[in-house]
Amino acid sequence: MAPAIPPPDVFPSTRHPGRKILYRRLTGPDVKHTLLFCYGAGSHSALTTLFKPFLDQHPDLEILCVDRWALPVPTVTSSSSVSRSGLGIFEELTDITIELLQSLNISELSMAAHSAGVYQMLHLAQSCQEIPTLRVTHLFPLCTHIPASFCGSQFLDWMRVMPSPLFKTLTRVDSSFGESWLGTWMAGVNTKSIATAQSRKQLSNYKASADETRARSERQDLDYRIIYEHFEGIDHGQLVNIYRALTMLAPKTKVVWFTSDRDAFFGPSSVSRLLLEIQAESDVEVFVVDGATHADIHESRDVWENIIQSLGLAKKCLD
């Protein structure tokens, strides 16, 4: 039987009294570099369990994963876990994450983001620029959400303008579908995964607290609304401007963008259209991952071996 995943660590904020965040840090005695991982919609920091077998073979890298919500102390309510309008959805979490990094004495780090986690990553990276004691060396987008107008999809364009009641119904259906066996089957199976059968079983057996479950559900709703621009106070132009951080961070921060031909919405053509719009083609290296899908690219061995090499922590791939 796979050992149980322990609950996440708790960090109470002093800058935002009465607020706390949950986080996990996979680390060891020989760490040379920290990677902050911003996961996608509806997931949580327990997914770092999938990364542990790879980190066991690369003890010079540690992964820090912060749950993308801030909880009131001592309990969460459906109306107070995160801001419901404008850039406040990112700002509070960015402030507390920076506070956490400083408390952990982390002064240099890279960041990776999967799917909907990209906006939090970019907002955080921009904010770190303003702090002399924090340096972001690399950014690694992994099949990240892209503003709908760059995706070349009539379906996404339709989702952007549909009435709110219909939008909410469709996203609820989509959310349920993604958790089903059929959704897993359609995502495909990446045969070059860093996860093991034991780590998958550990993750599937993880039991979140009631507070965490409610906060995850709320966060997933917000993630859906942002990508389809159904979020009060954030429009298409603001999403594009968040992506302009890629040009503002260059050349001090290297950007390697991992995408896949099997990602129907956020694949190579969508990435190219966005980079052309923000004039960042020369600032971003794009790597197309063979065999990966939107759902599993974050556990692709090709991705992690390239991250390791980009960070200068390894000279060759694993056997």
User: Is residue 268 predicted with pLDDT exceeding 50?
Assistant: yes
In this predicted structure, what is the pLDDT of residue 85? 66
In this predicted structure, what is the pLDDT of residue 88? 80
CA distance 199 to 196: 5
List pLDDT tens digits, range 185-204. Answer: 344 445 589 989 999 888 88
List pLDDT tens digits, range 156-177. Answer: 666 666 676 776 666 665 544 4
Stronger pLDDT, 124 or 215, i.e. the higher one: 124
List pLDDT tens digits, range 222-243. Answer: 777 777 666 777 888 888 889 9
The residues pairing with 22 across neighbouring beta strands, listed in sequence order, are 10
Angle at 261 between CA 260 and CA 267, to 5 degrees: 70
Residue 224: CA count within 13 A, CB half-sphere: 20
Q: Is residue 317 part of a domain?
A: no
Q: Is residue 25 part of a domain?
A: yes
In this predicted structure, what is the pLDDT of residue 159? 67
How many structural domains compose the chain?
A: 1
Q: Is residue 91 part of a domain?
A: yes
Angle at 41 between CA 38 and CA 43, to 5 degrees: 75
Q: Is residue 316 part of a domain?
A: no
Q: Is residue 2 part of a domain?
A: no
Mean local confidence (pLDDT), 70-78: 58
Work out the percent of the chain whose per-residue pLDDT is above 90.
46
**Do 28 and 62 meet the contact criterion of CB atoms below 8 Å apart?**
yes
Angle at 79 between CA 77 and CA 81, to 5 degrees: 65
User: Is residue 178 predicted with pLDDT exceeding 80?
Assistant: no
When mean pLDDT is compared across 46-50, 77-81, 91-95, 275-279, the lowest value belongs to 77-81
Mean local confidence (pLDDT), 49-70: 91
Stronger pLDDT, 192 or 34, i.e. the higher one: 34
Stronger pLDDT, 75 or 214, i.e. the higher one: 214
Q: What does the mean pLDDT of the chain come to? A: 83
Q: Is residue 294 part of a domain?
A: yes
The band of 100, judged by pLDDT with boundaries at 50, 70 and 90, is very high
Angle at 240 between CA 238 and CA 243, to 5 degrees: 115
Q: Is residue 3 part of a domain?
A: no
Mean local confidence (pLDDT), 248-272: 92
Of 314, 149, 168, residue with least CA distance to 235: 149
In this predicted structure, what is the pLDDT of residue 269? 93
Stronger pLDDT, 228 or 151, i.e. the higher one: 151
- Domain carrying residue 64: 9-310
Q: Is residue 1 part of a domain?
A: no
Work out the percent of the chain whose per-residue pLDDT is above 70.
80
Find the CATH number of the domain harbouring 152: 3.40.50.1820
